[in-house]
Structure formats: structure tokens, C-alpha cells
Structure 1
């Protein structure tokens, strides 16, 4: 696959999750037409689970169902030998000047932003979350042209609006983070296959072998143990708010817990075709099952949050559901590990 130069025009790509979409759209712009959202997510080892100790988000537990912001783009590009530029700034004026230069050069760039002041978002989706990603691909009538992958169409932001979200304060503050592919060499089918295998191996390690109780499948058990104690320890109102926070992290930030599992299943389907190995596609069914289970748990948690379910047994049932999910995901990654891909 010979990649000589970028395409002439940037094309908006709507996806389920922002960083997958930015990665997919930027690489397609540079001629990697094979890139899809599931492939970017899987090559970037995007599936994860962690309850971050000693950190709260919106006055609730800090839980993530995906890897750290920026890792998907970085890992996917690295696996394909794509050189990238990434910068952060302490000075908003310097950040704007660098962005303006790239816009003048006609280079689409990814930006990390906070969503609380993102004016084109519906108000109900604006909360303090600083790891959203979008693409700036031009300027028109003094406004930046924006491709936000979770939106159906392109939109725009004024210079003041974009600067405000690029320098949002709080956990995961973006500090004007900007990134884009720099150099892309010819991509072969063998490179794609190796990228897929390395992505799977890294995800197996992240979910099964990270020490401690906070991350991977053990992190799911860690949260389950907390859920059992929240009603008695925190009181019903605060415990309900905590469960509502999990639902928000799970279902409203990107594709969330259930959606990420469906996406990983789709990646394994694509991976099986590249690797010509049906065993890989068979494991995808386990992640689809896990996705369904996460969605069911979110419905139960929402019932507590909305005051329909108030008993300790409801918290016990949610905790048990999480343990069942942990088992499904653990066994799925163990199956992937046993395939000995690439050997």
C-alpha cells in the first residue's frame, strides 16, 4: 500500500468514540483508507478498566472503561510506523499561534479539550470532562472549522471558544494539547497484521497482568467490592450519586463500558479477516456478551440513581453483576492469550 501524500480534502468521519474517530479521520486524510474505528481502537489497545484511587470526577469515583487519553492515537500510529507531533503549552497565546500556523499550512490537527464549555454540545452533555478529542481542519469567517467525531456534521468554534476548552481546568487538563501525523511511509498488509497482533497482546497484558487491584479485570472486582459497601458507608443518597457517576462514565463519555466492548468485538472480527484466523472472531462473541452485561448493569444502577431501587439487595445485585462481567472478560482475554498469535 503506497502512501505518497495526503488527500486534497479533509473528510469528516462520525464515530462512536472521539479519539478513535480523530485517529481514523487523520490517518485517512493521509491516505490510509483501510483505517476504521474498530481497527484504530484495537491496534491502540483501547479496551481497559480502572478505578483510579484518590481521584474523583464530578464528586464521584474516577472510573474509566478505556485506556488513557491519547494512547489510542499514539499506539496506532506507532504500530504502523507513522511519525507524529504532539505538543502541550503553558501559554494559550502560544497554543493559538501554533494552531493557526498548522491551519494556514492546511494541516488538520487533533486537539484535546474539555466539554463543559463546548458550545455546540447539548447542555445535558456538558460536564467537567477534559479528555474529549476533536479535529481542527480549517478556518472560515474568523471561526475554526471543527470535525468532532461524535457529531453528525462539521461545526465551528470562535477563537475564544476553542481556547477556553483547550485550556479547561481540572483533572486531565488538556493544556492546549495538539497532535497530528507527521510522516507516513508505505503501509504493507504485514505491517497491519503485526499492528493488530501487538495491539491484542498489549490489551491482554493490560487486562490480566497489571499488578494491584485497581486496573484490568481485578479493577472490576475492586469496584464491585466498593458497591456492596456504599449504601451503609455513604448513605443512600450519596451511594446513589456514585452509581449515577458510574453510569455517566460508562454510557455517556464516548461509547462507555458497554459500547467499548461491542467495539472490541468488531475489531476482533476485522482482525480475524486480516489474520485469516477464525479463532479470533469466535472470541468476539464474548465481548459482545460483556457489552450486553455492562448495559444491563447500567440500567440497574440508573434505577438506584433515580430512586426506584433503594434496598441493600439492589446494591448486592449490581455488585454480583460486575463480578459476572469480570469473569466473562477475564476468560475472553485468556482465550486471546492462548491463541499465541504471531508465533
Structure 2
């Protein structure tokens, strides 16, 4: 069965899937609102967690949490399932499609054959929507794509059960019930308060703005501590996590700034609008960091930076965001 599904492209997969699923069910929330109410912005540096031998870094909360937090705050009942058997997972998907229910799911980018080869790598937390089936092929709304596309049974099954961390395990999800009424103001302030709290007040040096500062300090010492070759490899992975995987650091700042601007207008709060502009500047600074780091990785001799200078840029971002999210916390905690 194929339904009339309205696909809209987005910057980040989980935000886009949530927004597109809810639109199908009659709720209009764009990507910044989903990301902001769902408290998606975060930062963590995990030197003791290695992926292919490289320390882990994330600019967002764990996959799935944006939808969970957003749903809790708006009052949406979500059905979530995971499977140990690919055939049973595909049968469950077919059953939902037969009912006319589009389904969100976690997949591995590597097995999504509709993506250009250059963009297919082993990343197992990409969200897509399957909304129908025609001639044995599944119809896909992938938020990073301009239009809808399709995929074979075999490739979709592989994408849903790829090995690695995290394992998708056939996970799929969809709204069971959406509210007729909800408290938008409360949801906005709850999302803002949690984000600002987690960015500034978790008493650990590896998370939030403290984590950015900690990484800046470690980065300055990479060449002498681990050697030039490995330092370049680690730096390249950091850029990839920031600019390619799940939108990353700078892109998330721009999305969250758009959320603050919208929230400021809805709540008639000029402070939120001003902080939105400040966060945009932090996003610009992170883009500068990625530009100069990329030149270091490509060994471009002109207009380049040392690892110490790259650490200085990242620490400046940390200081800017510490001030921004401190203000946001003070504004939101009384609401």
C-alpha cells in the first residue's frame, strides 16, 4: 500500500524524520522546533571510547533521544520496536505499510544504495522513513535527499541489521497517538532548560562546554603525544563528525539558533532572539575551525594553522557557548 506522503528535505536526519512523520499525522513542527524542544544540542568527547582506534566525539545527544524527549513534551505516544531476526523485522514493516502507516527506522548509511558511493560509509545511526512499497521495492523518504527514492528488500534488510556500534537491530518507530492540544510554551522552556543545563552544569570535564575546552587542550598536544600521522587522522575524524555525520557541530548551532529565534518570537522574548544571534556566531567560528583543520589535514602550506592554534579556536567556541548557555539557563529556570 502507498500513502500520500509529503516529503521535505532537512539538514539532520532525526529531526527531519520526526517532522515528516508528524506532518503526516497532522502536526506541523519544522526541523528547528523538533531539535530545540527535543534538546538535541550537546557535546561530548570520549577519549576512552574508540571507534576504529579513534576517540569518540559527538555534537548531539544519543540517537533516538530527540524524538523521545520531543514526544514526551508534546504528548505523542510512540511505538518503538527492535528485532533479532531480519525476516521478522521486514514482515513487521510490511504489516505497518499495509495499514497505511509510514515507519521511521535506524539504518546504516553504507547499505543505502540510492546514496552516491562517496557518501556511503559505516555509520549505523541514520534515520529514514519507509512509507510504501511498489513492485517489491520500498519507497523511502530520506531527509537528506531532495526527493523521495526507493530501495530493494535486500539492501534495506542489510541497512537495518548492519554490524558495528550502534547496531540498528531492525529498530523502527511510528506515532500511535497524537494530541489534539498541547502546551507549546511549556515544551519550549523545558527544552531550552535541559539543553542549557547539560551544556554548562554537568559536573564532568568531558561533556558540554567543558568537554569542548578539554578537547581543545588535548588537541594542542596531539602531534607530540601521538605523532603527526595519527594526529592528522584524529583531526580528520573530528572534522568528519562535525561537518558530515548527522550535520555536526556548526550545523547544529545554526539549527538551534533558528529554534531560539522562533521560540523568541512565539514567546515574545527578545533575550532568546539575541542569544540566537550569538549562537550563530559560534557556529561561524566552528566552521572556521573546520576550514583550517581541513587545510592541515590536506597539508596546505598557505593560510594554515598549527594544532595549538586550532585548539585556541575551539576553546574560544567553548567560552562563547558557556556564556550563551549560562544566560539561557538563567532565563529558563524560572519558567
Q: Structure 1 pair 313/259, CA: closer, same or farther in 2 (3 Å)? A: closer
Q: Which of the numbers 116, 124, 137 marks the counterpart of 1:143?
A: 137
Residue matched to 2:258: 266
SS state at 1:232 partner: helix
- 8 Å Cα contact 2:293/2:305 also seen in 1: no
The answer on 1:50 being equivalent to 2:44 is: yes
For 2:39 and 2:30, the matched residues in 1 are separated by: 14
**Are positions 1:26 and 2:21 aligned together?**
yes
1:163 to 157, 162, 177: 157
Secondary structure at 2:42's aligned position in 1? strand
From 112, 118, 132, the counterpart of 2:112: 118
Aligned to 2:241: 249
Q: Which residue in 1 is equivalent to 2:61?
A: 67
- Distance in 1 between the 2:47 and 2:324 partners? 26
TM-score by length of 1: 0.94
Look up the SS of the partner of 2:175 in the other structure: strand
Query: What's the CA shift string for 1:98-147, capped at 9, x where partnerless?
Result: 11111111101111011122211111211111111000000011001000
**Are the aligned partners of 1:61 and 1:246 in contact in 2 as well (CA < 8 Å)?**
no
Per the TM alignment, residue 53 of structure 1 is displaced from its structure 2 partner at its CA by 3.6
- Distance change (3 Å), C-alpha of 1:115 and 1:340: closer
Query: Is 2:269 the partner of 1:277?
Result: yes
Equivalent of 1:76, from 64, 70, 90? 70
> 1: distance between equivalents of 2:9 and 2:180?
26
| Distance (Å, rounded) in 2 between the aligned partners of 1:242 and 1:153 | 34
Corresponding residue for 2:278? 286
Q: Secondary structure at the match of 1:176?
A: coil
TM-score between the two structures when normalised by the length of structure 2: 0.96
Say which of 280, 300, 310 aligns to 1:308.
Answer: 300
**1:41 has 2:35 as partner:** yes
Contact 2:189/2:332, CA 8 A, preserved across alignment: no
1:15 aligns with: 10
Match of 1:130 among 120, 124, 132: 124
TM-superposed deviation, 1:231? 0.4
Find the aligned partners of 2:299 and 2:47 in 1 and give their Cα distance. Answer: 27
- Report deviation, 1:86: 0.7
Give the unaligned 5+ runs of structure 1: 1-7
C-alpha distance in structure 1 between counterparts of 2:283 and 2:242, whole Å: 11
Name whichever of 57-66 and 153-162 sits farther off.
57-66
Where 1:175 maps in the other structure, the secondary structure is coil
CA distance in 2, matches of 1:330, 1:102: 45
- Whether the aligned pair in 2 keeps the contact of 1:20 and 1:37 (CA below 8 Å) is yes
How far residue 309 of structure 1 moved from its aligned partner, in angstroms, is 5.2
- 1:330 and 1:187 map into 2 onto residues whose CA distance is 35
CA RMSD of aligned residues (A): 1.5
1:214 corresponding residue in structure 2: 206
The question of whether the paired residues in 1 share the 8 Å contact of 2:111 and 2:156 is answered with no
Is 1:327–2:322 an aligned residue pair? Answer: no
Aligned to 2:174: 180
